[in-house]
Amino acid sequence: MLDLLITNANLPDGRKGQSIAVSAEKITEVAPSIKAEAEQTIDAAGMLVSPPFVDAHFHMDATLSYGMPRVNESGTLLEGIALWGELKPHLTQEALVERALAYCDWAVAKGLLAIRSHVDICDPRLLAVEALLHVKAKVKPYLDLQLVAFPQDGVLRSPGALENLTRSLDLGVDVVGGIPHFERTMADGAASVKLLMALASERGLPVDMHCDETDDPMSRHIETLTFETQRLGMQGRVTGSHLTSMHSMDNYYVSKLIPLMAEARMNVVANPLINITIQGRHDTYPKRRGMTRVPELMQAGVNVAFGHDCVMDPWYSLGTGDMLEVAHMGLHVAQMTSQAQMKACFDAVTENPANILGLQGYGIAPGCNADLVLLQATDPIEALRTRATRLAVIRRGRVIVQTPPTTAKLALAGRPETVDWRMK
């Protein structure tokens, strides 16, 4: 007797009419038509069943703090950082935990079951670190939360930051973070990369830096990050987040840089909702888009994910934890409109970030965890177009979220009674 049997499902790789059998929290079989007894059967009715959405870049310590103590008037990264600095002394662990848990509810309801969150360690109390370690343990049954020790004010620029960072790693934070472009000089930025990479290498930890989140084409810390990755033998374990300066870099320089990044097996996270609102703020017209060179990096074989980065915080006033909205924006900003590119945008919020987080047992194949999302769409491109309703979210074989299908009733003479925005 199976625990769960899903029938007549379309899969992201294009297979149609598939059954998925689940026992003891794992997928045991994926085949065109499985006939077996099961505790629960779900007829997917030709809809898409996907592995869960994954967000490789988020700030859970700041989320849902919009308006506290005021909103970001200029919309710039620097005002956001200043605003966060004003809010920090007033944070309490209890309120931070409450906001983070509320965001996790939103995320799970959108089929987002794994998040890598940066946590600001520039606070000798390590209040946010302790709060998010608590949240990580609390949400573990339904959401994988990975934490990055993030020196928001610069590991060299902010007094005591290195000590706070190592203390937070000792407490169990999973990944080493950084922010080289916020250090006082280019030289200090490069020195911070070398220092943090050495620390991560010593401890055997992955690295994920906010890197070159600026419109300055001369911000080239990704070059140092790539070089150190190669030198220390950390290929595949290092992520450059944002990399927005690459948008504005000289094409000749980039033609050297991207192959070096591919050689060092760098991971890249672009954050389209944030990059399109924060970058280009000093431009008049034409205004730069600011997002890094996503299709060119993918073309070169670099693993690229789209992250959400922010939801209702000092940097971004919108968002719901919907990774389809993130991918939809990424698709538009990068002009990734071919069929293959749109499919790649869906992968950028599922498989690609799962690789960055190093999630074990991710995917739809025998032996994988039975973590699945049933979408109100027949394929990944339709899911992106409609930001499809998550009809069911399944964690370890158990349905943890259900949402009614989205449909509208029409009262128009001679026209159908309902629409659901899907091509028939």
Contacting positions for Fe ion (CB under 5 A): 309
Nearer to Fe ion, 50 or 239 (CB): 239
Nearer to Fe ion, 75 or 363 (CB): 75
Q: How far is the CB of 309 from Fe ion (least distance, A)?
A: 5
List, in sequence order, the alpha helices (H) in 264-379.
272-278, 294-299, 323-333, 339-347, 351-357
Tell me how far apart the alpha carbons of residues 90 and 88 are, in angstroms, rounded to a whole number: 5
Q: How far is the CB of 208 from Fe ion (least distance, A)?
A: 10
Nearer to Fe ion, 107 or 392 (CB): 107
Closest CA to 269 of 230, 222, 224, 313: 222
Nearer to Fe ion, 309 or 371 (CB): 309
Q: How far is the CB of 245 from Fe ion (least distance, A)?
A: 15
Q: Is 29 a catalytic residue?
A: no
Closest residue by beta carbon to Fe ion: 309
Per the CB < 8 A criterion, the answer to whether 346 and 48 are in contact is: no
List the catalytic residue out of 37, 163, 213, 351.
213
Nearer to Fe ion, 309 or 322 (CB): 309
223-226 long-range contacts (CB < 8 A, ≥24 apart) are 223/257, 223/260, 224/180, 224/189, 224/190, 224/193, 224/194, 225/180, 225/193, 225/197, 225/266, 226/257, 226/260, 226/261, 226/264, 226/266
Strand partners, 399: 394
Q: How far is the CB of 311 from Fe ion (least distance, A)?
A: 12
Q: How far is the CB of 59 from Fe ion (least distance, A)?
A: 6
| Rounded alpha-carbon distances, angstroms, from residue 62 to 120, 136, 273 | 9, 15, 16
Active site residues: 213
